[in-house]
Amino acid sequence: MTPKQVLEMAKEKGAKVVDLRFLDFPGVWQHFTVPVRELEESSFEDGYGFDGSSIRGWQPIHASDMLVIPDPATAKMDPFFEAPTLVLIGNIVDPITREAYTRDPRNIAQKAEAYLKRSGIGDTAFFGPEAEFFIFDDIRFESSKHRAFYEIDSVEGSWNTGREECPNLGYKPRPKEGYFPVPPMDKFQDLRTEMVLTLESLGIDIEAQHHEVATAGQAEIDMRFKPLLEMGDQLMWFKYVLKNVAYRHGHTVTFMPKPLFEDNGTGMHTHISIWKDNIPLFAGDKYAGISQEALYAIGGILKHCRALCALTNPTTNSYKRLVPGFEAPVNLAYSSRNRSAAIRLPMYSPSPKAKRIEFRTPDASCNGYIAFSAMLMAVIDGIENKMDPGDPLDKDIYNLPPEELAEIPSAPGSLEDALDALKEDHDFLLKGDVFTQDVIDVWIDYKIKKEVNDVKLRPHPHEFYLYYDI
């Protein structure tokens, strides 16, 4: 879509205002709104000014002025605002040099796509994330000097079988038994369908929706694969739509990886494939019908997985899900059907177009643009350096004898461990200036100071249970 076509769309749809959106460093959408008369063809070159020092992980106060340049290809009408609102996702640039801002996650994604083309390996990297989430009815939490708690509630919560609900009609999924039950056990079929239809009205192709394994409203909606940058944009719309549809009906959605104790966490299994001249490069005659390039790509992800986790599983809570021995994909191995391996090769279809690798470790707390870009850089590094992933692991990992399990490398056990791995292993991300050293340094510094240390310094409620009477 051209700037002129965007203006025609705004007129046709009766837009009253324009909402400009961009992503902060950790991965949350930010926005501000201008009257539609402020949108001209020149706006797509001149941009709009804002204070970059107020965005997490961005500019210092003495160099705060930034510009957001709207991308005409991203134009959509917002499905929730009362006034007809045209939404444009923007790229961030320096107002003086007009250079793309290196800490803008969307800029990183654009550079990753360009680097793939320059490498000669392929021209398109497709990503298909399965972003799981929870739908809750109530969430309360506090963290202060003298008090800390959280409390979650859900009409589906297995803990509510004895609650007075006037009447309590039962049908609450037991822990780890929430996969695919029909209503009335599944309470959120209509809500998820409304989410799907809202996404499709925005031009986002959906493949399926269903209840997930955990009690208390765990769910999954799967988007059809798209090129990296486009999927980065779609993931932001995805989170926005799900949260707002739920909010409209008195529910709340979270992509926090592990909000419930003793039940399944939520991940974001990510399907990856590379194409060149409309030919899928990951289809071949090797193991599970994949190509040698796909095996090398797996080798790249497995080699760099511990560092990747700092970007694909970037919260302290992520590692409450990634715990060895609890069905989490922490073992750095690959398999055609074994879902306990970090990388799975889906076998649903024999079509060459369906051949891809599924990286199962990530979760949806990540910044999609950054996570997808990092995955692609690991894939490219694996292919360029012909990284052998070793033999597939088609055994049940959790029933292996200890001596055999000890030979399988594992994902980091904490965010701090993952950040340490990123410190030691990030040269593959710097190729082609896709990630800069500044981006890596600021990411690590931000995560340590704002998240790791903040959690480490606070007493945990369970510590009172364990130690108060000592």
Q: Is 293 assigned a catalytic role?
A: no
Pick from 123, 303, 78: nearest CA to 228? 123
Chain position carrying tokens 């903040």: 454
β-strand partners of 210: 220
- Helical (H) or strand (E) element with 412: none
Q: Which residues pair with 273 in a beta bridge?
A: 126
For every residue of 3-23, DSSP letters joined together read HHHHHHHHHHTT--EEEEEEE
Pick the catalytic residue: 21, 106, 321, 360? 360
Rounded to an integer, what distance in angstroms lies between the CA atom of residue 47 and that of residue 337?
48
Burial of 142 (0-12, 13-18, 19+ CB in 10 A): exposed
Q: How many CB atoms lie within 10 A of CB 178?
A: 25
CA distances from 351 to 18, 47, 280, 289 (A): 43, 44, 10, 10
Does residue 51 carry a catalytic annotation? yes
Instruction: Say if residue 412 is preceded by a cis peptide, omega within 30 of 0.
Output: no
Distance CA 92, CA 112 (A): 16
CB atoms within 10 A of CB 64: 14
Rounded Cα distance between 378 and 116, Å, is: 11
* Conformational region of residue 104, where left means phi above 0, alpha means psi within -120 to 50, and beta covers everything else: beta
449/455 Cα distance (integer angstroms)? 10
The residue from 132, 222, 233, 293 that is catalytic is 132
- Contacting residues for 162 by C-beta, under 8 A, at least 6 apart: 168
Q: Is 132 one of the annotated active-site residues of the chain?
A: yes
* Given the residues 103, 106, 192, 269, the one annotated as active site: 269
Residue 410 identity: S
Given 156, 358, 363, 381, the catalytic residue: 358
Q: Which of 392, 278, 287 is nearest to 331 (CA)?
A: 392
Helices within 16-63 (DSSP H only):
43-46
Over its C-alpha atoms, the chain yields an Rg (Å, rounded) of 23
Catalytic residue among 220, 233, 381, 451: 220
3-state secondary structure of 320: helix
Give the number of other CB atoms < 10 A from CB of residue 364.
25
Please confirm, yes or no, whether 451 is among the known catalytic residues.
no
- Given the residues 130, 137, 363, 416, the one annotated as active site: 130
Q: Does residue 200 have an active-site annotation?
A: no
Asked if residues 105 and 27 have their Cβ atoms less than 8 Å apart, the reply is: yes
The answer to whether 269 is a known catalytic residue is: yes
CA distance 367 to 16: 30
Q: How far apart are CA 222 and CA 130, in angstroms?
A: 5
403 is catalytic: no
Catalytic residues: 51, 130, 132, 212, 220, 269, 339, 358, 360
